[in-house]
Structure 1
Amino acid sequence: MVQVAGMNSMWSLILQGDAMTKCILIFLVGMSVLCWSIALYKLVLFSIKNKQLNQVVQELQSVQDFKNLFAVAKKHAKTLPGYFLSQSLRHFKELLLLKKSGKQEYAQGAGIDFLQMQMNQSIDEILHQEESHVSTLSLFAAVSPLLGLLGTVWGLVHSFLSISQKQSADIVTVAPGIAEALITTIAGLLIAIPALMLYSFVSSKVREIEFQLYILSDKMITIARKVIVEDLISVEFDENFMHDQLDRE
């Protein structure tokens, strides 16, 4: 009963607020809905992609040559790791062509370094895409307390104006106005705290994806050195598969 009475009194204070206070509260509620929507969407998406990456990393543990690597990439063609592997295979193909054209020394030295640079660039592009809208959570965590403070200051000014009009500063006159003003601060903090926690958690999932991508990159470089530097067997490319993968973006 006490809790119900408290909620009713708080709701009545919100209804008694002026237009500015109500606008701030509505804006804060909208930020909260958007914040949770982004966070839940990203967490579900990252969970799926992390599982895909973990599966591919496990499969690559037994891969020792380019042919099996190509088979793994083709098997997971419609996933994030499959897309990354297909992009890396395109650069790998360029090294093989250089090797076949007689530029083996370049392929063994600068070519391997260039392959590493291209894969790092692919990782950066993927992470940039995955991090889209994640910074919104950090923005909400920073802005919502300031909006709450703005509502509080506005409410206090409104309360002091009421005091001057009534020519009275007793607790009965002051308390409702101050309570009304502090509601926006509470609302701002109730949004900022979860938003900051969600931002930290979602960012950790992005770092997991980044870590797994670098594992794939290292495995690609290892196989590239075996094929190019140690002059192991090469493999014919499935041109249709490569073109299909490059047309996905």
Structure 2
Amino acid sequence: MSSELSFVDLVLEASFLVQLVMLILLAASITSWAFILERSRVLSSANSEMKKFEDKFWSGVDLNRFYQELAARQSVQGMASIFAAGFKEFVRLRKSSSTPVEALVDGTSRAMRVSLSREIDSLENRLPFLATTGSISPYIGLFGTVWGIMNSFVALGGQQQATLAMVAPGIAEALIATAMGLFAAIPAVIAYNRFSHQVEKLENSYGNFMEEFSSILHRQALAANVDSVNPAQKAG
């Protein structure tokens, strides 16, 4: 109990600048943990939604009906959003009989790439803050420590007889800033690395789906083109 009171006393008796550093680091730590929990939920949901989408997509469902189901939803995210953007553009371009097959597939791929970029931007939201917190928090804490130790030695210089008991409290309160900097930085760095890896895996999965879906649409476009040509040949 006494150690806890001693810790609080050290914080309360620290200089204003050191207290300001501690307050900044405390705010950074609290915000980081809030973002960590929020990103963990978002990325977990993205993985779950992707698996559900893939299970239904590769089950042989009719693409037109599947697109209508997704279009009826208020919001579509992740792989479903990429599919909806690509299929919508494919249907729009296919209405023009003069659109070449390659141009049709290329336009569809561009629409899916735009949707992919938006999805990745959404998944990477908050990550820059975690990276910044993990990078600069130790230095902010170190600044508070250096300032606190400097003040302790300046005060010590005005004394005729210097003892460890005179300088120890000032050094101890200064070192608290370093500890708080590490406390804010370590979870942020771990979370940033973990989330970045998860986003990269999702991006690869989305990219693979885009390639596979483009191949499916390319085959459909070729088949439709052949069907439109054959009747004309038979009539001739």
Give yes or no for TM over 0.5: yes
1:24 matched to which residue of 2? Answer: 21
Q: What are the Cα deviations for residues 39-95 of structure 1, in whole angstroms up to 9, with x where unaligned?
A: 111111221122111100111223376435535645766331333322112211133
72-81 or 40-49, larger mean C-alpha shift: 72-81
> What's 1:207 paired with?
200
Q: Which of 212, 216, 220 lines up with 2:209 in the alignment?
A: 216
| Structure 2: distance between partners of 1:131 and 1:148 | 27
Question: For residues 1-249 of structure 1, what are the structure 2 equivalents within 5 Å?
Answer: 4-63=1-60, 66-67=63-64, 69-70=66-67, 73-74=70-71, 78-80=75-77, 81-98=79-96, 101-103=97-99, 106=100, 108-231=101-224
Mapped partners of 1:224, 1:39: distance in 2: 39
In structure 1, distance between residues paired with 2:80 and 2:111: 16
Q: Map Cα deviations across residues 92-143 of structure 1 (whole Å, 9 max, x no partner).
A: 1133123xx233xx2x223323322331222012211222222100111112
Which region of structure 1 is more displaced relative to structure 2, 18-27 or 85-94? 85-94
Give 1:232 shift.
Answer: 7.8
Q: Using the TM superposition, name which of 109-118 and 175-184 deviates more.
A: 109-118
Give the CA deviation at 1:191: 0.7
Deviations 1:146-200 (A, max 9, x none): 1101101110111011101223332222222211211100110011001101111
Q: C-alpha distance in 1, partners of 2:225/2:28? A: 57
How many residues matched?
Answer: 226
Q: Note if contact 1:74-1:82 (Cα within 8 Å) is conserved in structure 2.
A: no
Between the two proteins, what is the percent identity of the paired residues? 24
Q: Normalized against structure 2, the TM-score is what?
A: 0.85
Output the amino acid matched with 2:9.
S
Structure 1 residue runs without a partner (length 5+): 235-249
Q: Is the CA contact (8 Å cut-off) linking 2:86 and 2:109 kept in structure 1?
A: no
Q: Contact 1:66–1:223 at 8 Å: present in 2 too?
A: no
User: Which consecutive unaligned segments of at least 5 residues does structure 2 have?
Assistant: 228-236
Residue 72 to residue 116, structure 1, CA distance change in 2 (3 Å): same
CA contact (8 A) 2:70 2:76 kept: no
Distance 2:160 2:208 in 1: 72
- Structure 1 CA distance for aligned equivalents of residues 128 and 22 of structure 2: 22
Provide the C-alpha distance between the structure 1 equivalents of 2:117 and 2:80, rounded to a whole number of angstroms: 16
SS at match of 1:62: coil
d(CA) in 2 for partners of 1:216, 1:85 = 9
Instruction: Say if 1:213 and 1:75 are closer, same or farther in 2 by CA, change over 3 A.
Output: farther
Q: CA deviation at 1:10?
A: 2.0
